[in-house]
Chain A
Amino acid sequence: MSEEKGKGALILIGVPAALIASLFAVIILFLSGTGSAAAACTGGAGTVNPANIQANAVPGFSAEQLTNAAYIMNAAATLGLDRDGQVIGVMTAIGESSLTVINHGDTAGPDSRGLFQQRDSWGSLADRMDPTTSATLFFQGLQKVSNWQSLEPTLAAHKVQRNADPYHYEKFFAAADRIVTALAGGGGSCASGTVVLPLRPGFNMTSNFGLRGFVVDGASSWHPAVDLQHYPNPCGDQIYSITSGTVSYVGGYQVTIKSPDGYDVSYLHMKLSDVSVAEGDSVTPHEPIALVGSEGPSTGCHLDLRINKKGTINEAVAALKAGEDLGGPPSTYGYVNPEQFFALFGIELCPADSCHRQY
């Protein structure tokens, strides 16, 4: 998806061309079946000169690894795939081989070889050990997956690789995006769709995570959350689930959704009558769950978003510092900084160019 399309959809709401484009996308999404998480990219599919890779172009990756990423990106471009395809290819190769041409397999696949750990059935040993040819084989497989662009990237890769773990590639998406961004040049980036913003873009942050400088009801407070709102007229704004998961609590002025990775995301201050999900519901990222309100101890409409990592099996989320690590009171234990949480997924929660910080 190009940047132009993205901007057009925002600016031209109500214009027939945009409506037609939306309807077309609606059809694609319906055909895709489950889930609405999909990679969304700005910037096109750049090609890279593999002979001209700088050793330190992307921290954590060697020149050899980045050269292999360049071959993968070029193979995608040759087949006419866009940037989302390039990122999925690089992500898959990180997950399979750490972007190195491996000349051995593993227990589950002793005959697996190369960047994509392709087994005998994929082609000759020489083809599977060749970066460009093995990447081409991967992308040809991806092109056969119907509506792969509408799938969560790890699941699109899994449909080609048929791995034991469909979610194996998820944690490599952000690194793959960094590599493609660095090598392709010209800016742009991709969001995986695994985690999305809770309000439409353009909101402000009226309280950040941590010890607050100002007081409410005469007492300073340690805020294990971020407060977000549009200005003016934040009341009634649509709130979207930031992840997939199961609604585990609806009550008072709160909705809590448990991710299959185990962490809990809570949304506060809504009227129960404005909550559109019920306990036990399964939700997808972007799914509307409630409207912004000012219920409970609150002096104005806003969304209080808080994320508790207790019991999570996501290593990166588990490694985030929580209230107890930062000197917070027991009521903040387990709660992590939502800005750091979003950053793990390559998303800036409050970008300087659109989000004003008022606290």
Chain B
Amino acid sequence: MAPGHRYRRGRTVRCAIGIVPLVVILTLTGCVGGAGAGKPDATTAPSGGTTSTAKATSATPAVPSDDATAVPVPEAGANSQTAAISAAEKVVTAFGRPDLDYQTWINGLYPLLTQTGAAAYEDTDPANVPVHQVTGAGTILPGSTDVALIVTVPTDAGPYTVSLSRPTITAPWLADRIRPAQG
């Protein structure tokens, strides 16, 4: 983990100045199925076409290939996991307060959410939250990392999954999503 990334989350916003025009173009063309939509640019179409010609004819551009394997991202360390379980239980406890008025509820939740989480959950009416309490210890789902992982937390409304992330290994875990476990 590179040091000095504590405020990395702000970078997304700054980068947006440069990327938005491209985003717009992609967004506008992000659809399939319309008549003629996504028609290939003539210059991008290869001259070959079938597998056999691509292999057999030396005039056809070589198909790049690789035998690469992806490096598995290490599972979160013990300290990361302990901190994450504690953070997730705290998040679900703050989330599961349907008795509170909205302002008190969201004020208790905001400090535990990422920017993305705050933007999503600030529109929740706490009266619609079925959770009242955490009923056991949280567990880390496989595929955890030191900067992003998911914790399952048992509640009186069934298991909830809390997607946590953080910009550095020393930053507090914050919640992107708090959802009833699917299935």
Contact = CB atoms under 8 A, between A and B. Distances in A.
Contact of A298 (B22, B24, B25, B66): B66
A29 B179 contact: no
A128 B66 CA distance: 58
Given A311-B144, A354-B39, A163 B124 contact: yes
Contact of B125 (A162, A254, A283): A162
Interface in B159-183: 161, 163, 165-169, 171, 176-177, 179-183
A166 B121 contact: yes
A308 B120 contact: no
Interface string A22-48: 100110011001111010111100000
Nearest to B6: A280
Nearest to A346: B32
Contacts of A281: 5, 8-9, 11-12, 167
Contact of A282 (B38, B66, B116, B141): B116
A248 interface: yes
A195 B98 CA distance: 32
B99 interface: no
Given A6-B28, A358-B51, A227 B64 contact: yes
Given A231-B46, A258-B148, A278-B5, A164 B68 contact: no
Which of under 10, 10 to 19, 20 to 34, or 35 or more describes the interface residues of B? 35 or more
B65 A9 contact: no
B63 A297 contact: no
B78 interface: no
A214 B73 contact: no
Interface in B9-59: 9, 11-12, 15-16, 19-41, 43-46, 48-49, 51, 54-55
A247 interface: yes
A30 B20 contact: yes
A70 B122 CA distance: 31
A355 B31 CA distance: 15
B121 A40 contact: no
A338 interface: no
Contact of B65 (A216, A253, A258): A216
A359 B63 contact: yes
B32 A282 contact: no
Interface in B71-91: 71, 73
B100 interface: no
Contacts of A279: 1-2, 5, 147
Nearest to B18: A288
Contacts of A314: 182
A155 interface: yes
Interface of B: 1-2, 5, 8-9, 11-12, 15-16, 19-41, 43-46, 48-49, 51, 54-55, 61-71, 73, 98, 114-116, 119-121, 123-125, 127-131, 141-150, 161, 163, 165-169, 171, 176-177, 179-183
Given A10-B25, A299-B64, A300-B65, 5 more contacts: A36-B20, A206-B65, A248-B148, A258-B145, A288-B22
